[in-house]
A and B are shown apart, each in its own frame.
Chain A
Amino acid sequence: MNLKLRVWRQKDASKAGKIEEYEAKNINPHMSFLEMLDVVNEGLAQNGVEPIAFDSDCREGICGMCSLVINGIPHGPDRGTATCQLHMRKFKDGDTITIEPWRAKAFPVVKDLVTDRSAFDRIIQAGGFVSVNTGCAPEANAIPIGKHLADPAMDAAACIGCGACVAACKNASAMLFVAAKVSHLALLPQGQVEKAARVQKMVAAMDREQFGNCTNQFECEAACPKEISVSFISKMNQEYLKAFKGDIL
């Protein structure tokens, strides 16, 4: 198949970027979206044009490294699929495809389609962990966890930290990511001790990074490659209000 690509090119964070047009010729419909870009880049390199920079790592939908806003939708049109798992058969021969980086103040563009997502790391550092005394690994079944808790905790833990929720949100809010991390730990017995402090610190860290404020439109959930539910945002809001209960009432 032959496609026309409109791709955001930007030399580095300090330079202004713009959309450039490229042809993608003889694309195999079984290729993944990233393989298609590899092919295009090969052609660009042969013609002495700087290849398009984009992020990827595992290419099997588990690492959260790939990104790309494809025709306005983070990770493209396929629901519950990361860009690396999106196949070209989802497009039609002759299509024009617009490819842009995640857009958020907290995710500055490093180059072309690559953004700096270390804001997420700083949110995790603020409280996305449980503190344990090191030593040998504890016996895995020492703390029994009911299925009613284990299941939602696993659902929340499926978040791969890609940032598509921020890219999709009309306000560039990071609520879905933070809610997934807060909920995952708040549901498990190991996370109970630091529960209140964790949600306060992580929300404060999120606000410091200048992500936007949630308006409950749920674009995040629709774009999330792991289909993390917005019910976790409700859970985080509840945890947050509980953590401040003494102060408010």
Chain B
Amino acid sequence: MSNFLKSSVGRKSVMAVTGLLLFGFVIIHMIGNLQLFLGQDALNDYAKHLVEMPLLLWPARVVLLAILVTHIFVSMSLAKENRVARPVRYTQGATIQASYASRTMVMSGIIIFLFIVYHLLHFTFGKIQPQFYDQLDAEGRKDVYGMIVYGFQNIYVSGAYVTAMAVLCFHLSHGLQSLFQSLGLRSNALAPLLKKMAVGLSLFIFIGNTSIPLSILLGFVRMPGVGR
């Protein structure tokens, strides 16, 4: 087992599995978020149910953090070795067929990590826009809906989220096909399908998540009782 985790191929498979699990979380998280479109009552109700299940919520958070930390640490150990493996660079380099997304995985990963920190400070810890954080709705529940709607009415905040989702989309457009190769599941026959699937799912995440700040900015989603 320790030989496996030290090896290049073993660590690549860890990247693939943790990447896939993170992707799974991103999908579930997005479905949760999209309940914004069902209105203030539905979203605040969903949020209330989540925090009322601490025995589920906290282990889930810990596991998720462990997966993310593993993904980041393993990627950094692999990337460090890759730099060492070519001490002298070519004076004239060339790229034959590697995609831009595949060549910028470390950079897109770092941006996603910074975004995760920002996102947690914003909505989990209420440090970015504290004025919207501790409000209650008419039923006395935490007003998550209001926090999001007021928050995203700020174009800079929305802009940061849309940009981060574009970067995530980019990361996944390579990652979601790469993981099949890392796990030994890709064949030349499957390759075109995997590519389409990866690009399709990345765009799905991008469109789904950015629909929230964009609908708020464009005024399709607003606070109940507020006209345009």
Binding site for B on A (CB under 8 A): 6, 8, 19, 69, 71-73, 98, 100, 103-106, 168, 170-173, 175, 200, 203-204, 206-207, 210-219, 221-223, 229-231, 233-241, 244, 247-248
Contact = CB atoms under 8 A, between A and B. Distances in A.
A240 B9 contact: yes
A100 B184 contact: no
Contacts of A106: 85
Contacts of A244: 1, 3-4, 10
Contacts of B10: 240, 244
B8 A207 contact: yes
B96 A168 contact: yes
Contact of B90 (A100, A210, A237): A100
B186 interface: yes
Given A103-B90, A203-B9, A248 B3 contact: no
Contacts of B105: 215
Interface stretch (B50-58, B153-161, B175-183, B205-213): B175-183
Contacts of A98: 91-92
Given A212-B81, A248-B1, A237 B9 contact: yes
B138 interface: no
Contacts of A236: 9, 184
Residue of B9, B82, B90, B93 with highest tally of chain A CB at under 10 A? B9
B109 to A, nearest CB: 12
Interface pairs A-B: 3 shortest CB-CB: A238-B184, A72-B94, A212-B85
A223 B96 contact: yes
Given A71-B94, A72-B94, A204 B88 contact: no
Given A72-B90, A217-B103, A212 B97 contact: no
Contacts of A212: 81-82, 84-86
B98 interface: yes
Interface string B69-96: 0000000001001101111111111111
B188 interface: yes
Contact of A216 (B89, B91, B181, B185): B181
A216 B102 contact: yes
Contacts of B78: 213
B129 interface: no
Nearest to B99: A217
A235 B12 contact: no
Contacts of B142: none
Contacts of A234: 180-181, 184-187
A19 B1 CA distance: 46
B119 interface: no
A36 B19 CA distance: 49
Contact of A19 (B6, B91, B99, B102): B91
A204 B3 CA distance: 8
A231 B105 CA distance: 22
B85 A240 contact: no
A231 B182 CA distance: 11
A241 B177 CA distance: 18
A206 B184 CA distance: 18
